[in-house]
């Protein structure tokens, strides 16, 4: 297959290139000279363009698109989230259809359903929330709806919903926690007792490989590692692979949630740049249980994790 990947210079996209290049011709969107160098080093053909600007000509001969690019941040403006997550996806779908691309795989997220309360073993029958509290969740849900609605004769679309992606070269979740710990800023919420599903990046890549030829069009699939664990158990062990010990101190989740609203409100009110030291998304997400049911992916994609959590942690520790 000739496959076009967005987000190729990022964490997930980089792993996709490394695996897919073995059996496919991989093209990767690159917005800058640095991105061009990064995707070419991984083995992809760089296509100099950006979300919102992809032309049908740049997709000439492409059989499938894996859309992994997104504005994945705890904090930002509505315009920032919508421009990338919604409008970028909309324009890419239009270009793909015009170019005659046959398959479109969207990397979604369980966060599209997260409004604050626990999400316990949710599956694909769970409806989208009627109201959203977080811009990331809102815009990723809207993007997914666009993707699934675009499915039709000759254009097969699916969305994969990984929960808490982790693995080598992760500078998002693991990198953020590591940096906070090294600055002595890490604090557990509710002692880290809430449960979570996780998804090693190689398990997500395996699901993408399956979705290139399997799955029903217009459907979404939750993807995760086997089992669940508490946030404390998982992050203690994850950071230990980097030689980092997380502090034991903890505050009540309700306190962090309330404080995050005040902090974000003050941040916006004063028009301060950057990300607040405490965001609503982080405070709510780290004080809630979020677990997903992968039964549909197993049945329709033939999905099964290719790596256990234990194996992934051992590999990370080994470097």
CB atoms within 10 A of CB 150: 20
Backbone angles phi, psi at 94, to 5 degrees: -65, -45
Cα 152 from Cα 289, distance rounded (Å): 36
Backbone angles phi, psi at 31, to 5 degrees: -90, -20
Measured CA distances, 37 to 32, 40, 143, 211 (Å): 9, 5, 28, 28
The answer to whether 221 is a known catalytic residue is: no
Q: 155 by DSSP, 3-state: which?
A: strand
E strand segments, 113-152: 119-122
Cα 318 from Cα 116, distance rounded (Å): 36
The terminus-to-terminus CA distance of the chain in angstroms comes to: 32
Cα 122 from Cα 266, distance rounded (Å): 34
Cα 275 from Cα 96, distance rounded (Å): 34
From the CA atom positions of the chain, what is the Rg in Å? 19
Measured CA distances, 250 to 56, 191, 240, 242 (Å): 52, 5, 18, 22
Longest Cα–Cα distance in the chain: 55
Cα 84 from Cα 24, distance rounded (Å): 27
- Kindly name the residue from 75, 128, 136, 221 that is annotated as catalytic: 136
Cα 253 from Cα 226, distance rounded (Å): 27
Catalytic residues: 136
């Amino acid at each position: 297959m000739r496959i076009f990947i967005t987000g190729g210079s990022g964490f997930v996209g980089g792993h996709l290139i490394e695996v897919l290049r073995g059996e496919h011709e991989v093209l990767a969107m690159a917005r800058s000279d640095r991105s061009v160098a990064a995707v070419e080093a991984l083995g992809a053909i760089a296509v100099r363009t950006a979300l919102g600007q992809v032309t049908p000509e740049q997709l000439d001969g492409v059989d499938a698109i894996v859309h992994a690019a997104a504005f994945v941040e705890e904090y930002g403006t509505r315009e920032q989230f919508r421009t990338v997550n919604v409008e970028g996806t909309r324009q890419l779908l239009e270009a793909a259809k015009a170019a005659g691309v046959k398959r479109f795989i969207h990397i979604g997220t369980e966060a599209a359903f997260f409004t604050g309360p626990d999400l316990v073993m949710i599956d694909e029958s769970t409806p989208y929330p009627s109201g959203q509290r977080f811009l990331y969740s809102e815009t990723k849900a809207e993007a997914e709806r666009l993707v699934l609605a675009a499915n039709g004769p000759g254009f097969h679309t699916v969305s994969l919903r990984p929960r808490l992606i982790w693995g080598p070269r992760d500078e998002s979740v693991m990198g953020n926690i590591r940096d906070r710990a090294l600055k002595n800023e890490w604090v557990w919420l509710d002692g880290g007792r809430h449960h979570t599903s996780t998804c090693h990046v190689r398990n997500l890549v395996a699901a993408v490989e399956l979705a290139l030829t399997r799955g029903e069009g217009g459907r979404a699939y939750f993807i995760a590692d086997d089992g669940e664990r508490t946030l404390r158990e998982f992050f203690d062990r994850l950071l230990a692979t980097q030689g980092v010990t997380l502090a034991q101190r903890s505050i009540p989740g309700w306190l962090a949630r309330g404080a995050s609203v005040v902090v974000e409100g003050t941040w916006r009110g004063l028009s301060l740049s950057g990300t607040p030291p405490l965001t609503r998304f982080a405070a709510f997400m780290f004080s809630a249980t979020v677990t997903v049911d992968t039964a549909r992916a197993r049945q329709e994609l033939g999905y099964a994790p290719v790596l256990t959590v234990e194996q992934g942690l051992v590999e990370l520790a080994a470097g």
